[in-house]
Amino acid sequence: MTQVQPRFPDQKPEELFVPEIAKITRAENLTEQDRLFEIELPGGKDLGHEAGQFVEVSIFGFGEAPISISSSPAKTGSFELCVRKLGGLTSKLHTMGAGDELGIRGPLGNGFPMADFEGADCLLVAGGIGMAPLRSVVNTILAERDKYGRMILLYGNRSPDDILFTNELDEWAKGEGNEVLVTIDRPADGWDGNVGVVTTLFNDIELDPSRRIVAAVVGPPVMYRFVYAELQALQIPDNHIYFSLERRMKCGVGKCGNCQIEGKYVCIDGPVFTGDELRSFHESI
Amino acid sequence: MQRTAVVSESGLRDLLGRIIETSRVMAPVKRGKLSYDFEWISSPDDVELDYVRTVLPPKKALLPPREDLLKFEREDAGASPVIEEEPFVLFGVHSCDLTGIRELDWAMGQRHGVPDPHYLARRKAATIVGMSCSPDEYCFCTSVGSSDTKEGADLFVTAIDGGYFVEVLSEKGEELMKLAPDAREASADDEIKAKAALEARKEQITNKINAPAEKLPGLLEQNYASEIFEATAERCYSCGTCTNVCPTCFCFDVDDEVDLLLSSGTRERKYDSCQFQDFALVAGGHNFRGDRSDRVRHRWFRKFVYLAQEHGRPFCVGCGRCSKQCTAGISLVDVVNSVLAEAREEVAT
C-alpha cells in the first residue's frame, strides 16, 4: 500500500506549537457559511503540502483549528483554505479579508497517496464541505492530466445554496475523461439538476471493470457507510479506497489525543485512511 | 559498579535542606489527615518520607495541569514559545511513578517522532530522587511490571533499619550526594537489608490482575463487546478524575487566554479527559464516543490495548490512584478481572 509519510514543519524544536504568521491575500464568500482564503507565507514560500493534508489555523486570542488545504500542491506561492463558519475561531475568520494576518502550522497529516491514483480511473466522492479537501485532489489531477485515467467527481449537497466552487465545477468537467455530477438532497426552486443523496449518483456513472479504479471520499461521517457500500458493489479493492476522516485535531502533532481512533491518531496516521484500515476500527465512522 | 551509601533520617533531611538552598524542590507533603501531594517545599521538615500515594502523581512537575505554550501579542501577531528550563529536584518518587515518568518520556518525548519541547525542557531540568514505598490495598504494581523500576531516577533511596540506603544512579545523582557529607559508604549488609525491604514491600501487595500483563491486549481485544463496560458505565459519572490522577495520561486541551486589555495573552494547555462527553465531538456536531460505555471502554483499552501494543508495555503503572479516587468507587483492577472472568466463562460454556 502506498502511504504518504507524515510531514512536520521545518522549524526549530522549541517552536513545535508556534505558528508562522501568514497573510491573507484574497478572500471571498463561496456560500453564506463558507469563505475561501488565499494565504501567503512569509517570503511567498510554498507550503509544500500533499493533497489532503491540513494546517492548524491560529488567531491569537481565539485559538487554533485544523482546516484542510483546498488548493493543490501544483499551485505555488500561496495556498487556499475554505472555511465553514461553525465556532468562535471560524466566525472570526469570516470577518477577515485581504491584508489580515493569521497563524499557520503545517502542513500536517498524511494526505492522499496520489501515486496510487496515477494511471487509474479516479472516482472522487464529496459531501458538503468535503469538497474543500477534494478540490486539492481534483486540481492535482488536472495539473498533470495525462498521468491519470478518467476523473469522475460525485458531489452531494443539502441545497443549491450550499454548493462550493460553483464557477469551477464546469471547468473541471471540461476535457476528455472528466465528469462532474452534482446532486442536492431535496428538490429546490430553480434547481433542475439531480436530486437525492450522493449515492444516487452512482446509478448515473459507468465504470470500466477492466480498468483499475481508485476512490477518494470526503464528507460528513453519516455519508461514509453508504458510499462505502456503493464502492464495494463496484468491487474497488479496500486498499484503493481512501477516506478522509474528521476529528478534533487540537495539536496536530500526535500529542493531545483528541483525534484518537482507538490506537490511531488522525492527525498523524490520517486524516486519510484506506477501506482496510477503516474496517479494522470499531469506532471510525 | 554504581555507588551506594547510607544516610540517617536526619542526614536525609539535612541533604534536602542543602538542596533547597540551591534549587527548587518538589516533594510529597501531607495535606489534611489522609492525603499527600507533591508540592514545592521550603523546608525539609515539610517532607513526608513515608507516604502511600499522592493525589496527583509527580507528572505535575513535568506536565503541569495547566501550562503556557506560547505568549503572544495580538497587535503584531507574533508569538514566542514558553519553555521552562529552571533546574529542580523531584524528591520521593515511588517506583510506580518512576514508571509513569518513563512512559511519559516516550509519549511526550519520542512517540510519532515528535519531541514535545515543553515537556522535554522540564524533564531535562529535573533531578529525580526515587524512594521505596508503603503499599496499600489499591496498589497493583506487581501486575503491570512497575514494582522494581529505578530507571529515570538519579538517586534511589530505600528505607532500612536506622536510615536510608542510597543508590547513586547518574552524574546528577552524584552531584546531589556531594551535598550529603554525612553519608557513609554502604556495606554488603546494608545492601542485603535494602533488597529485603523492597521484596517485603512487594509481598504486601494483594491487589492483582488475573492475567499476565503481556496477555492483556489480546484478552481484552477479544472482549471488545463485553457487557462489563456497559455495566461500569452505568456507575461512571464521566467526571474525569481517573484520567486527571493517572501518571500516564497525557491528553490535553488547548485554549487562548487574553489579558483584560485584549493586548496580549497566552496559549495554554490543560489536562483533558477522554471521559468527558465532548472529548471526541467534532465541529459538525457528530460525537464519536458519545456513549459513556464507549468512553469507559476507551480508557481501559488505552491503558491495556492501544498504547500497550504500540509501546510493548501496559500504559498503567498500578499506582491505584484512579480506583482510590473514583467518585463512583469503580476499581480498574476489578473491571479488568471481570472482563477476564467473563471471557473464561464463555470459553468454558
* DSSP-derived secondary structure for chain A: ---PPP---S--GGGTTPPEEEEEEEEEESSSSEEEEEEE-GGG------TT-EEEEEETTTEEEEEEB-S-TTS-S-EEEEEE--SHHHHHHTT--TT-EEEEEEEES----HHHHTTSEEEEEEEGGGHHHHHHHHHHHHHTGGGS--EEEEEEESSGGG-SSHHHHHHHH-STTEEEEEEESS--TT--SEES-GGGGGGG----TTS-EEEEEES-HHHHHHHHHHHHHTT--GGGEEEEPP---SSSSS-S-TTEETTEEHHHH-SEEEHHHHHH-SS--
Distance from CA of B57 to the nearest CA of A (A): 19
Residues A270, B3: Cα–Cα separation, whole Å: 48
Task: Assign B115 to helix, strand or coil.
Answer: coil
Closest residue of chain A to B298, computed from CA coordinates: A262
Asked if residue B286 and residue B178 are part of one domain, the reply reads: no
Distances (CA, A) of B232 to B144, B183, B216, B235: 22, 51, 19, 5
Mean pLDDT calculated for residue range A200-221: 94
DSSP state of B262: S
Distance from CA of B336 to the nearest CA of A (A): 18
The pLDDT, as a whole number, for residue A230 is 96
* Residues β-bridged to residue B4: B167
ipTM (interface pTM):
0.91
Longest CA–CA separation in chain B, Å = 70
Tens of pLDDT along B243-252? Answer: 999 999 999 9
Q: Cβ–Cβ contacts within 10 Å for residue A280, how many?
A: 14
- Residues B221, B319 share a domain: yes
Claim to verify: residue B197 and residue B225 sit in the same structural domain: no
Q: Tens digits of per-residue pLDDT, B239-272?
A: 999 999 999 999 999 999 998 777 889 999 999 9
Same domain, B317 and B336: yes
Report if residue B71 sits inside a domain. Answer: yes
- Give percent of chain B above pLDDT 70: 98
| Dist CA B13 CA B164 (whole Å) | 11
B194 and B82 share one domain: yes
- In a domain, residue B197? The reply is yes
| Mean pLDDT of the A196-203 span | 96
* pLDDT tier at B201, thresholds 50, 70, 90: very high
**Closest-approach residue (CA) in chain A for B309:** A263
Q: Which of A225, A205, A223, A222 is nearest to A213 (CA)?
A: A205
User: Which candidate from A61, A64, A90 shows the least CB-CB separation from B262?
Assistant: A61
For B224, the 3-state DSSP assignment is coil
Question: Where among B203, B235, B254 does a domain terminate?
Answer: B203
Based on the fold, state whether residues B224 and B305 are members of the same structural domain.
yes
Specify the length of chain B in residues.
349
pLDDT on residue B77: 65
Q: Determine, yes or no, domain membership for B208.
A: no
Among candidate residues B178, B203, B228, the one where a domain is terminated? B203
Q: Which residue of B has its CA nearest to A62?
A: B256
E strand or H helix that includes residue B69 = strand B66-73
Interior angle at CA B297, CA B295 and CA B301, nearest 5? 115
Q: Which domains does chain A have, with CATH numbers?
A: 13-108 (2.40.30.10), 114-280 (3.40.50.80)
Residue A266 amino acid letter:
V
Alpha-carbon distance B259 to nearest alpha carbon in chain A (angstroms): 9
Closest CA to A255 of A16, A53, A23: A16
Q: How far, rounded to the nearest angstrom, does the alpha carbon of residue B212 sit from its chain's CA centroid?
A: 21
Nearest to B323 by CA among B138, B144, B142: B138
CA distance B189 to B167: 14
Same-domain check for residues B236 and B89: no
Separation between Cα atoms, residue B320 and residue B138, nearest integer Å: 5
CA distance B180 to B234: 54
Strand partners of residue A264: A261
Residues of chain B with Cβ-Cβ distance to A219 below 8 Å are none
pLDDT of the residue at A37: 98
Strand order from edge to edge, sheet including B78-81: B78-81, B66-73, B264-271, B252-258
Nearest CA in chain B to A219: B284
CB neighbour burial string for A55-93, b if at least 16 within 10 angstroms, e if fewer:
bbbbbbbbbbbbbbbbbbbebeebbbbbbbbeeebbeeb
Average pLDDT over residues B211-231: 94
Instruction: Return the H-helix or E-strand segment holding B29.
Output: strand B24-31
The secondary structure of residue B82, as a DSSP letter, is -
Q: Do B171 and B218 have their domain in common?
A: no
From chain A, pick out residues whose CB is under 8 angstroms from the CB of B303.
Answer: none
Q: Are residues B194 and B62 in the same domain?
A: yes
pLDDT digit string, tens, across residues B49-68: 999 999 999 999 999 999 99
Do residues A199 and A105 lie in contact, with contact meaning Cβ atoms separated by under 8 Å?
Answer: no
State whether B83 and A18 contact (CB < 8 Å): no
Q: What's the gap in Å between the CA of B173 and the closest CA on chain A?
A: 27
Residue B159, domain member (yes or no): yes
Which of B159, B181, B203 is at the close of a domain? B203
Residues A17-21, mean pLDDT to the nearest whole number:
93
Amino acid at B336: V
Q: Is residue B193 part of a domain?
A: yes
CA dihedral of B27, B33, B35, B37, whole degrees rounded to 10: -20
Distance from CA of B267 to the nearest CA of A (A): 8
| Residue B33 · residue B2 · CB < 8 Å | no
pLDDT band at B326 (very low <50, low <70, confident <90, very high): very high
Q: How far apart are the C-alpha atoms of A252 and A267, rounded to whole Å?
A: 5
Angle of CA points A119, A122, A126, to nearest 5°: 160
pLDDT digits over A49-83, tens only? 999 999 999 999 999 999 999 999 999 999 999 99
B127 and B231 co-located in one domain: no
The yes-or-no verdict on residue A242 having pLDDT over 50 is yes
Local structure of B248: helix, strand or coil: coil
The grid coordinates of residue A181 equal 455530477
Residue B280 pLDDT grade (very low, low, confident, very high; cuts 50, 70, 90): confident
Angle, helices B227-235 vs B292-301, to 10°: value is: 110
Which residue range is the domain that position B160 belongs to? Answer: 3-203
- Taking contacts as CB-CB distances below 8 angstroms, the residues of chain B near A101 are 77
Q: Which three cell numbers stand for residue B171?
A: 552524574
pLDDT at residue A2 in the model = 37
Per-residue pLDDT at A144:
96
Q: Is residue B283 scored above 80 in pLDDT?
A: no
- A95 within 8 A of A81, measured Cβ to Cβ: no
Q: Of A18, A248, A251, which is closest to B281 when you measure between CB atoms? A: A248
Q: Looking at residue A221, what is its pLDDT?
A: 86
Q: Is the dihedral of CA B51, B57, B59, B60 positive or negative?
A: negative
Q: Are B141 and B332 in contact (CB under 8 A)?
A: no
Judge whether B130 lies within some domain.
yes
pLDDT of residue B162: 87
Same domain, B117 and B185: yes
Sign of the dihedral defined by the CA atoms of residues A169, A174, A180, A186, in that order? positive
- Are B180 and B223 in the same domain? no
Residue of A nearest to B264 (CA): A61
Structural domain count of chain B: 2
